[in-house]
């Protein structure tokens, strides 16, 4: 079946530190991969995506590369800010006639000033 595993949180970093949140997946077919973010009090929103192997998604200084050989899609940012404090969800979507999206459990990030 299709599933997503991401590193457990919370992750606590100081401002300007380097961030990595690990994500691995299992999937039948050729999934698209996503990172969604949920800021406090807000709904989930797409952070970045990659639709095929070796694609790199990027947005707001965050990056993730679709690695088919390691079935991974790790999220990275070179210098985090307090405003990046949120819950980050790795997700995959496979077209089974409807693009059902499967989410990981989420990783909470706290960034200290």
Partner 1 sequence: DTGVSQDPRHKITKRGQNVTFRCDPISEHNRLYWYRQTLGQGPEFLTYFQNEAQLEKSRLLSDRFSAERPKGSFSTLEIQRTEQGDSAMYLCASSQDRFNTGELFFGEGSRLTVL
**Half-sphere exposure at residue 14, Cβ-oriented, CA atoms within 13 angstroms:** 0
Q: Which of 32, 35, 74, 75 binds partner 1 (CB under 8 A)?
A: 32
Say whether residue 112 binds partner 1 (CB under 8 A). no
Sign of CA dihedral 62, 24, 69, 26: negative
CB of 111 to partner 1, least distance (A): 20
Greatest alpha-carbon pair distance for the chain in Å reads 46
Total of residues contacting partner 1 (CB under 8 A): 27
Q: Which of 35, 104, 109, 111 binds partner 1 (CB under 8 A)?
A: 104
Whole-angstrom CA distances from 18 to 13, 94, 101, 111 are 8, 31, 28, 11
CB of 113 to partner 1, least distance (A): 25
DSSP string, 83-99: GG-EEEEEEEEE-SSS-
> 78-97: which residues touch partner 1 (CB under 8 A)?
89, 91, 93-97
Contact residues toward partner 1 (CB under 8 A) are 4, 32, 34, 36, 42-46, 49, 51, 89, 91, 93-106
């Amino acid at each position: 079946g299709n599933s997503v595993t991401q590193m457990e949180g919370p992750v606590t970093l100081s401002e300007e530190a380097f961030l990595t949140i690990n994500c691995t997946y299992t999937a039948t077919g050729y999934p698209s991969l996503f990172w969604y973010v949920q800021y406090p009090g807000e709904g989930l929103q797409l952070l970045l995506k990659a639709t095929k192997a070796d694609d790199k998604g990027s947005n707001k200084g965050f990056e993730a590369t679709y690695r088919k050989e390691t079935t991974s899609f790790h999220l990275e940012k070179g210098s985090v800010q307090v405003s990046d404090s949120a819950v980050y969800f790795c997700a995959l979507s496979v077209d089974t006639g409807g693009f059902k999206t499967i989410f990981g459990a989420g990783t909470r990030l706290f960034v200290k000033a």
